[in-house]
Amino acid sequence: MVLSGVIRRDLRWLLLALNALPATAAGLLLPTALASAVDMALAGRLDAGTVWWLVGLAGVEVLGDAIGVVLAAAITARGAAWLRHRLTAHLLALGHPARFEAGDAVSRLTGDSAIAGGVAVLAVNLGISVVTAAGAITALALLDWRLAVVFLLSVPLAALLVRSHLRLTAADVATYQEVSGELSARLVDAVGGLRTIAASGRADQEAERVLRPLPRLTAAGVGMWRTQARMIWRAGLLLPLVELAVLTAAGFGVVAGRLSVGDVLATLGYVALGMTVVGQTALLTALQRARASGRRLQEVLETPLPRSEPPASTTTGEIVLTGVTVPDALHDVDLTVAAGTFVAVVGRSGSGKSALASVIGGLTRPSSGDVRRGGSVGYAFERPALVGTTVADAVRYGTEPHRTDVEAACRAAQVHDVVVRLPQGYDTPMAAAPMSGGEAQRLGLARAFVRDPAILVLDDATASLDMVTESTVERAVESALPGRTRVVVTHRAATARRADVVVWLDDGRVRAVGPHSDLWHDDDYRAVFG
Amino acid sequence: MTYLRALRDQRRGIVVLLGWSVLEGVPALLSGRLVGLAVDRGFAAGRPWVGVGWLLVFAAVAVLGGFGLRQVFRRLGAVVEPLRDALVRQVVRGVLHAGSQTRQPDASAVARITRHVEVVRDATAGVLVQARALLVTTAAALIGLAATVSSLAWLVTLPVVAALVLFGLLLPSLARGQRRLVMADEQAASVAGTVFLGVRDVTAVDGAEHALRDVMTQVDRQASATVRLAFATALRGIVIALGGFVPLVLLLLMAPGMVRAGTLTVGEVLGAVVYLSTSVQPALRRLADTTSTIVLRLVVALRRLAEAAPPIDPPTGDAVPEGFEVELDHVTFGWSPTAEPVVRSLDLVLPEGSHLAVVGPSGIGKSTLAGLITGLVEPQAGHVRFGHVPIRSVAPELRHQRIALVPQETYLFTGTIRENLALLAPTASDTALLAAAAAVGATDLITRLGGLSATLGHSAAGLSAGEAQLLSAARVYASTADVVILDEATSALDPAAEALVEQAFATRNGTLIVIAHRLSSALRADQVLVMDGGPPLLGNHQDLLTTSPLYRDLMAAWHEPHNGTATQPPRQPALTAPTSDPEQHR
C-alpha cells in the first residue's frame, strides 16, 4: 500500500509526534494555569509564580507549534518527493506505449503525490487531536469526576457523526477528481488542434465542447459543500449542548464548593479541547483525499512492468528477425539484414513499417518470434519528442558525449547552423527554442547520431525535410558514421532508390525484398509511391 | 479581471452568505458576557437555577451561531462552484482563442492551469469561511470585551494591533516564498510533462535515468522551497500567538489591583478572559495558521491564471466578399520588424477555381502564407483580399465559413465520428458525410472504426497520424468552403492516398491551395509558387523548370527514379547544391 509505505519510509513523523508531546501537554495544562491565575486575580493577589507558570506553558506551546510547522513541511515534502521518485521511475519503466496519458500522469505526479505524501503528518495531527481529547477528559475528571462523566456522554454522538461523514464524501470526491481529469483531457485534445480551431473560427463552440462535463463537476462540488455543511451543523449543535451540560455541572460544583470560579473557566477550556477531535473535519476530508490519491498512485505502481530484456545479440551491425509477430501490425516476419547495409522499408500507410522499426529499435516486444540485433541502436522518429533542458541536453539525452561530439552530430543532421543562431546557441533552453517540424526532426536525427550506434533506425525521420536537405543529411551520415547498418522507413522513391535493398511491407507481411530497381517493374510497388 | 467579475456575478449569494454570518457572530459577541452572568448572578451567588438559566441562553445563542455557520456552508457551494465554472470557462476560452500564433500550452500546462483553478476555488471558499469568520468573531469579541471591561480596552487592543503590524511586515517575504514555491511546482510539472509526453523517445534513447534525474532535480527544488516557506510560516505563527497571549497576561497583571479597588467584578474578569481565550486567541491563531496562507495562495494563483489565459480580442469586420477570388498585393510579412521577412513583396491572384501548389524547403514560411490568406496573420505591408475586400475586414463568420484550412496537425475530439466529420458542416446529412469520406478515400477507415456512430477516444487514440489526417480531409471536404488550403495536410499519408485526397479536392468546386509536402503535388496543380526565402516565383511546372534553379533541383532529385533507374549510377543522385541554402533565409 502506498500510504503505509510513506509512513514506514521516513520515520521523522516520530520526531513530529515527540515535538508535539510537550506542546500538547502545555496546551492541556494551560486551562488550569489560566484558572489559578484568574482565581489569583479575583482574590486581588499578584503571585509571580502563578503568572510565570502560565507564561512558561504558553511559551512551550507556541514554540512547539512553530517547530511542528517546519517539521511537518519537511516530512510532507520528503514523502511527496519519494512518491514522485517511485512514480516517475515506474512510469518510465512502463515505457512505450504509455499506459497513462501525459496530462493524467503529471496530475498524479504533482497533485496526488503531494496529498499522499502528507499522510504521515495527517496521521500525527489526528493522533495529537485524540491525545488532546483524552487529556482534556482526564483533566475534567481531575477537576470533578462528574464533569468527565457528563462530557463522555457526548462521545458516542461524536463517533456517529464522524462515520457518516466518511461515508458521504467519498463518492463526490471521486466524481470530482474524475470529471476534472476528463476536462483536462478534452482541453489537451483541443489544444492539439488549435490551428484548425483558429482557422475555422470555432473557438467558442469548441470551448463549449470541452466544457460539456462541467455541470457534473459543479454537482459533485456542490455535493461536497453540502456534506460539509451537514457535518458542521451537527458539530455546531453538539458543541453547545456539551458545553451547556458540562458548565451546568460545573456551576453546581461551584455552589457546592467543589470548584472555584476559575475552575469554571478551566472546564470551558477542557470542553473545547476535548471537542477539537470532533471539529477536525478538515483533517478527515484530507485523510479521505489522501486515500483517494493513494489509490491513484497505487494504480500506476501496480501496473506490471513489461519484460525488459533487450533483443538478443548477434554479429555487430546485423539484424535477424525470425517469425516476428506484433498484434495488428506484423505477421510472421522473417528478415535478415547484413551488417553495414542500407535498408529502406516501404509500404502503404498502416502496412507495419513503423512497427518493424519499433521492433528493431527495441521499443516493441513481438508477441511471438525472435529478434536478434548486433550492437546499439540510434533511433529517430518522424515527430521526435525533444526531451531535455537545453538544446545540447536534448541531443545528448541519456548519454554523456563531449560537446564537440554533440556539435558534430548536429552538423551531420544539418541543424548546427540553426542551433548557433538561437539566442544562447547550444545552451538555449528548449522552452525558448520553438522548432518547426523539420528542425525538430533534424535535432532528433542528431540525437540518434551522437550515440555512435552500430545500427541506425530512422522511422520516416526525414519526412519533413525537403529532398535536397534530406540527401545532404544522408551523405553527411555516410561520412560521419561510415559502414553503419541503416534501416530507413520512407515514403519516398528517391530514398528507396539510394538504399542497398528495399523491404516492401504489405498488410504486416514482407511482400518482397530486393533492390529498388528490380522492384520498380512491379506496378503495385510503384503505386506505393504514388 | 475575470475573478472579480465572477465574484460580482455571485454577489447575491455572497450577500446572503454574509448575512448568515452575522448570526454566526452572535455567540462570540455574547458568550463571555453570558458565562460571566451565569457565575456572577447564579452559581457564585448561590442561586444555581439562575445560573442554569443564563447557561441555557448561552446554549441557545450557540445553536443560533451553529445554524448560521451551516447556512454559510450550504451557500458556499452556490457561490464557489459557479465561480470555479466561470474561471474554467474563461481559461478554456482563453486558451482556445489564443490561436496558433502564441506558444501552445502542452499537457503539463493544462494540468497546471487546472490546479490554479482548484486553488482559487478552495482558497475563495477558505476566505469566505475563515477570513469572514475571523473578522466577525474578532470584531464581535472585541466589542463584547470593550463593553465588559471598558477601562482595559487599550490593554487588549494594543498588543493585537502591534502583532498585526508586525505580521503585515512579514507578508512580502511570505508572498515571495509562496510564489517561489508555486514556480517550483510549475517547473516540476513542466519538466515531468515533457518527459511523460516523450516517453517513447526517452525509452528509445535509453534515457530513463536521465529523465528521472531531470524530474527529481525539480522535485527536490520544490521540496526545499516548501521547507523554506515553512520557516517563514513558523515565524509568522510566533508573532501572532504573542499578539493573542500578551493581552491575557496584561489583563491578569492589572486585574488584582482593580478587583481590590472594586472597579472590576468577578464576572467581568471571567467574561473578559472568556472573550480573550475563546474568541480572540483562536481567531488570531487561525489567521496565522491558515487564513493568510489561503490569501497568499489565492493571490499567486490568480496572477498565474491571468498569465495563462490572456484576455480575448475578438475579430471584427462586416464586409461581404463578392465571389472568392484570392488576391495578394505586395504582401510582406516577418515575425518581427527586425527579422528577415518570411514573405516578401508577394503578388498572387487566384481566380475562382484555381489549383495552386506551394513548394519550397522546410521552415521557409509556407504555413505563414496560409495564415495570411485565411486572415489569421496580418501582413506588415501590402494587402490580402478575398472576394475583392480586405480579408481582415470580412465578417468573421463568413471568412471562416468560406475559407477552410487543413493543417498538418489534426484536430479530433472525443465524440462520434459523425460529430467529428460534421464539425464544419453541422447540418450535413449522413449521406453527405459518407460521400465526403468516400471522396477522400476514408470509407474503409470509417467502416473499420464502426461507422459514423462509432466514438473516438482522447488524443485520437487508436488512429495513426495518416488516418487522423484522412478524417480531417473528409471533414473539410464536407464543408461549404469555397477556398480550401491543405497545409501539408496529407504528410502522414502514403503518396497514393495523398494523390486521391488532392484529386478529390481538385474536382470539388472551388479554389484549392496545396502547401506541398511532396513534389508530386506540384505536378497536379495549375500554378506553382516556389518559396525559397528569396523573391517568390510563380508559374506553371514547365515555366519553373527553366526559371527556378531550386525548382529544377528539387524536381531532378525527386524525378530520378521515374526516369528509369537502371541508367543512373545508384550512388550519385543528380543533385547539385541548391543555389540558395535554405538555412540562410530563416
Residue range B438-460: average pLDDT?
Answer: 89
Query: What are the backbone angles phi and psi of residue A297, rounded to the nearest 5°?
Result: -70, -45
Of B320, B313, B517, nearest to B402 (Cα)? Answer: B320
Range in A486-495, B88-97, B514-523, B576-585 with the lowest mean pLDDT:
B576-585
Grade residue B439 by pLDDT with cuts at 50, 70 and 90: very high
Any CB–CB contact under 8 A between A152 and chain B?
Answer: no
Between the CA of residue A22 and those of A57, A75, A233, B492, B531, what are the distances in Å?
9, 20, 33, 69, 78
Is A395 within 8 Å of A407 (Cβ atoms)?
no
Grade residue B135 by pLDDT with cuts at 50, 70 and 90: confident
Question: What pLDDT score was predicted for residue A111?
Answer: 84
Of chain B, the percentage scoring pLDDT greater than 70 comes to 88
Residue range B98-119: average pLDDT?
Answer: 67
Question: What pLDDT score was predicted for residue B1?
Answer: 63
Q: How far apart are the CA of B156 and the nearest CA of chain A, in angstroms?
A: 16
Q: How far apart are the CA of A1 and the nearest CA of chain B, in angstroms?
A: 22
Of A363, A461, A163, nearest to B208 (Cα)? Answer: A363
Is B62 within 8 Å of A226 (Cβ atoms)?
no
Among candidates A80, A240, A437 on the partner chain, residue whose Cβ is nearest the Cβ of B59: A240
Any CB–CB contact under 8 A between A18 and chain B?
Answer: no
Residue range B223-247: average pLDDT?
Answer: 89
Backbone torsion region of residue A515, taken as left when φ is above 0, otherwise alpha when ψ lies between -120 and 50, otherwise beta = beta
Cis status, amide bond into A97, omega within 30 of 0 = yes
pLDDT > 70? residue A434: no
Q: What is the mean pLDDT of chain A?
A: 86
Any CB–CB contact under 8 A between A349 and chain B?
Answer: yes
Is A318 within 8 Å of A310 (Cβ atoms)?
no
Which residues are registered as beta bridge partners of A505?
A510
Q: How far apart are the CA of B487 and the nearest CA of chain A, in angstroms?
A: 11
Residue range B231-238: average pLDDT?
Answer: 89
Q: Do B212 and A493 touch (CB under 8 A)?
A: no
Among candidates A96, A194, A436 on the partner chain, residue whose Cβ is nearest the Cβ of B200: A96
pLDDT > 70? residue B577: no
Q: Do A189 and B459 touch (CB under 8 A)?
A: yes
Q: Do A264 and B43 touch (CB under 8 A)?
A: yes
Question: What pLDDT score was predicted for residue B573?
Answer: 31
Grade residue A235 by pLDDT with cuts at 50, 70 and 90: low
Nearest C-alpha in A relative to B107: A103
- The CB density around residue B161, as the number of other CB atoms within 10 Å, is 11
Question: What pLDDT score was predicted for residue B19?
Answer: 83
B100 vs B285, which has greater pLDDT?
A: B285
Radius of gyration for the alpha carbons in chain B, expressed in angstroms and rounded? 36
Q: Do A247 and B38 touch (CB under 8 A)?
A: yes
B154 vs B315, which has greater pLDDT?
A: B154
Residue range B543-566: average pLDDT?
Answer: 66
A47 vs B156, which has greater pLDDT?
A: A47
Among candidates B202, B237, B403 on the partner chain, residue whose Cβ is nearest the Cβ of A387: B202
Q: Do A92 and B195 touch (CB under 8 A)?
A: yes
pLDDT > 90? residue A501: yes
In CATH, the number for domain A319-528 is 3.40.50.300
Question: What pLDDT score was predicted for residue B558?
Answer: 62
Question: What pLDDT score was predicted for residue B174?
Answer: 85
* Residue B254 to residue B264: CA distance in whole angstroms: 10
Mutate to test the interface with A, among B110, B120, B224, B293 (most CBs of A within 10 A): B110
Residues in A 293-322 with any Cβ partner in B closer than 8 A: none
Between the CA of residue A350 and those of A328, A507, A519, B195, B439, what are the distances in Å?
10, 7, 20, 27, 20
* H or E element, residue A372: strand A368-373
Grade residue B580 by pLDDT with cuts at 50, 70 and 90: very low
Q: Do A188 and B459 touch (CB under 8 A)?
A: yes
Q: Do B81 and A222 touch (CB under 8 A)?
A: yes
Q: Note the pLDDT tens digit of each residue in A55-92.
A: 999 999 999 999 999 999 999 999 999 999 999 999 99
| CATH superfamily assigned to domain B2-97+105-308 | ABC transporter type 1, transmembrane domain (1.20.1560.10)
* One-letter amino acid for residue A496 of the chain: A
Question: What pLDDT score was predicted for residue B39?
Answer: 84
- How many cross-chain Cβ pairs, A to B, lie less than 8 Å apart? 539
B27 vs A298, which has greater pLDDT?
A: A298
Any CB–CB contact under 8 A between A55 and chain B?
Answer: yes
Mutate to test the interface with A, among B23, B101, B102, B203 (most CBs of A within 10 A): B203
Q: What is the 3-state secondary structure (H, E, C) of B301-349?
A: HHHHHHHHCCCCCCCCCCECCCCCCEEEEEEEECCCCCCCCCEEEEEEE
Is A475 within 8 Å of A488 (Cβ atoms)?
no
Any CB–CB contact under 8 A between A440 and chain B?
Answer: no
In CATH, the number for domain A2-301 is 1.20.1560.10
Q: Any idea where the domains of chain B sit in the sequence?
A: 2-97+105-308, 326-549
Question: What pLDDT score was predicted for residue B568?
Answer: 34
Question: What pLDDT score was predicted for residue A63?
Answer: 93
Range in B42-46, B222-226, B314-318 with the lowest mean pLDDT:
B314-318
Of A405, A414, A410, nearest to A473 (Cα)? Answer: A414
Q: Do A381 and B110 touch (CB under 8 A)?
A: no
The SS3 call for residue B493 is coil
Q: What is the mean pLDDT of chain B?
A: 81
Question: What pLDDT score was predicted for residue A505?
Answer: 93
A276 vs A358, which has greater pLDDT?
A: A358
Nearest C-alpha in A relative to B577: A468
Question: What pLDDT score was predicted for residue B351?
Answer: 92
Residues in A 387-416 with any Cβ partner in B closer than 8 A: 387-389, 397-399, 414
Residue range A330-338: average pLDDT?
Answer: 92
Mutate to test the interface with A, among B41, B50, B67, B200 (most CBs of A within 10 A): B200
Residue range B160-174: average pLDDT?
Answer: 84
Backbone torsion region of residue B551, taken as left when φ is above 0, otherwise alpha when ψ lies between -120 and 50, otherwise beta = alpha
Q: Do B97 and A203 touch (CB under 8 A)?
A: yes
Q: Any idea where the domains of chain A sit in the sequence?
A: 2-301, 319-528
Chain A residues close to B561, C-beta within 8 Å: 493-494, 496-497, 516, 520, 529
Question: What pLDDT score was predicted for residue B584?
Answer: 35
Q: Of A328-332, B35-39, B267-271, B306-310, which one has max mean pLDDT?
A: A328-332
Grade residue B583 by pLDDT with cuts at 50, 70 and 90: very low
Question: What pLDDT score was predicted for residue B309?
Answer: 67
Instruction: Specify the pairing of strand B355-359 against strand A368-373.
Output: unpaired
Question: What pLDDT score was predicted for residue A153?
Answer: 82
Chain A residues close to B212, C-beta within 8 Å: 85, 88-89, 92
* One-letter amino acid for residue B247 of the chain: P
pLDDT > 90? residue B224: yes
* Residue B225 to residue A118: CA distance in whole angstroms: 16
pLDDT > 60? residue B566: no
Q: How far apart are the CA of B503 and the nearest CA of chain A, in angstroms?
A: 12
pLDDT > 80? residue A264: yes
DSSP notation for B100-163: TTSPPP-HHHHHHHHHHHHHHHHHHHHIIIIIHHHHHHHHHHHHHHHHHSGGGHHHHHHHHHHH
Q: Note the pLDDT tens digit of each residue in B243-275.
A: 888 888 888 888 888 888 888 887 788 778 878
- The CB density around residue A100, as the number of other CB atoms within 10 Å, is 19
pLDDT > 80? residue A279: no
Nearest C-alpha in B relative to A460: B492
Chain B residues close to A530, C-beta within 8 Å: 494-496, 498-499, 518, 520
pLDDT > 90? residue A495: no
pLDDT > 60? residue A168: no
Grade residue B364 by pLDDT with cuts at 50, 70 and 90: low
Query: What are the backbone angles phi and psi of residue B381, rounded to the nearest 5°?
Result: -145, 155
pLDDT > 60? residue B572: no
Range in A28-32, A109-113, B274-278, B350-354 with the lowest mean pLDDT:
B274-278
Q: How far apart are the CA of B128 and the nearest CA of chain A, in angstroms?
A: 13
In CATH, the number for domain B326-549 is 3.40.50.300
B549 CB-contact burial (10 Å; exposed 0-12 / middle 13-18 / buried 19+): middle
pLDDT > 50? residue B563: no
Nearest C-alpha in A relative to B486: A196
Q: Note the pLDDT tens digit of each residue in A173-226.
A: 888 888 888 888 888 888 878 888 888 888 888 899 999 999 998 888 888 888
- The CB density around residue B314, as the number of other CB atoms within 10 Å, is 9
Grade residue B209 by pLDDT with cuts at 50, 70 and 90: very high
